[in-house]
Amino acid sequence: MSSLENNFREIIPYTPGEQPQFKDKVKLNTKENPYPPSPKVMNKMLDYNELKLYPDPTAEELISAIADYHGVSKDMVFAGVGSDDVLATSFMAFFNSGKPILFPDITYAFYDVWANLFKIPFTKCPLNDNFKIEKEDYYRENGGIVFPNPNAPTGILMPLSQLEDILSHNRDVVVIVDEAYIDFGGESAIPLLNKYDNLVIVQTFSKSRSMAGMRIGYAIAGKRLIKELNTVKYSYNSYTLNYPSIKLGKLAIEDDEYFKNTVSKIINTRERVKKELSDLGFSGTESMSNFLFVTHKNIMAKDIFGALKEKHIFVRYFDKPRIDNYLRITIGTDDEMDKLIAFLKEYINK
């Protein structure tokens, strides 16, 4: 096997959150939306005879709905199989200078995986002691920049003024802003597209629109960058989005009232749980996402993680430098969060 293995790609893959199969679980570990999709999605009857045909490779129906929602033209939108597909395509399309790309040291763990997979050199810029991005770290020469806003797993939001400062210092490279959690308390960078032709904004249906299972993500950028994304897409897979995703995604983004109500419920629950966790001795970042990033003053995060798991309450623990005493807790329904708090009260009191 040694001669075969010489041709294998050596890479450490991304590790997704655990998907427990217990029926009685409280699943707060993968940042999914605890509420169902829009009723318009739930009630839609699809023409399943269409499944024998290839889907529209342009996904025009969905892309038109996304463009209308954000007030941009159709040729400024690119759609893919979740934001992961869109981000990976962006890495292939834009990060080819040979210079290292820049992203935070504590951030979405897929960035360095893609960089290694596509043989893109990279440099990690350390967050400061408060887990915030230092914009000055991104003034150096580079081959491109990518970061989430709000960041993950910290949930910290960068103000648009600081984001624009990074853009203005990097006019000759593409800057990708991953806005997977922007709907939970931040202001999108979409208005900056009128000023910066090097900006790519990536969003997803997986979090705020309750459609993680449909795998729908999209990018909004200038026409030239979207054209390049499509060139890469048509170079390896023309039919990225399937028929149900196109049809149901259109309905989901058109139901703005349901979307806003669901997001509002998650935000309200997040703020309540922040206080209850604080009363129990937890502290953390000022999360503006659909999760909390917390540590306890007396009890190790790994111990809390294990105790919760024994009771089929699943949160995310990262055994990594600087964050190995933190837990990332997805915001579930009020009932799910009440179960979490009730267990923690009992566990901490013991």
- Show the 3-state SS of 174-200: CEEEECCCHHHCCCCCHHHHHCCCCEE
Q: For 148-196, how does the pLDDT look when each residue is reduced to its tens digit (9 = 90+)?
A: 999 999 999 999 999 999 999 999 999 999 999 999 999 999 999 999 9
Instruction: Work out the mean pLDDT of the chain and round it to a whole number.
Output: 96
Query: Is 0.75 topped by the overall pTM?
Result: yes
pLDDT at residue 5 tops 90: no
Indicate whether 1 pLDDT > 80.
no
Identify the residue whose tokens are 């806005």. 179
Distance CA 316, CA 237 (A): 33
Q: Where in the chain is CATH 3.40.640.10?
A: 40-255
Q: What is the CATH number of domain 40-255?
A: 3.40.640.10
| Nearest Cα to Cα of residue 289 among 269, 261, 304 | 269
Structure confidence by residue, pLDDT tens digits, 270-298: 999 999 999 999 999 999 999 999 999 99
Q: In one letter, which amino acid is 70?
A: H
pLDDT tens sequence across 24-34:
899 999 999 99
Residues with Cβ within 8 Å of residue 61, at least 6 apart in sequence: 246, 247, 250
- Could you write out the DSSP letters of every residue in 63-92? HHHHHHHHT--GGGEEEEEHHHHHHHHHHH
Nearest to 27 by CA among 343, 340, 314: 314
- Within 10 Å of residue 139's Cβ, how many Cβ atoms? 14
How many C-beta atoms surround the C-beta of residue 325 within 10 A? 15
CATH number of 2-36+257-349: 3.90.1150.10
Contacts 24+ apart (CB under 8 A), 129-137: 130/285, 131/106, 131/156, 131/285, 131/293, 132/156, 132/158, 133/104, 133/158, 133/162, 135/162, 135/165, 135/166, 137/102
Could you tell me where in the chain the CATH 3.90.1150.10 domains are found? 2-36+257-349
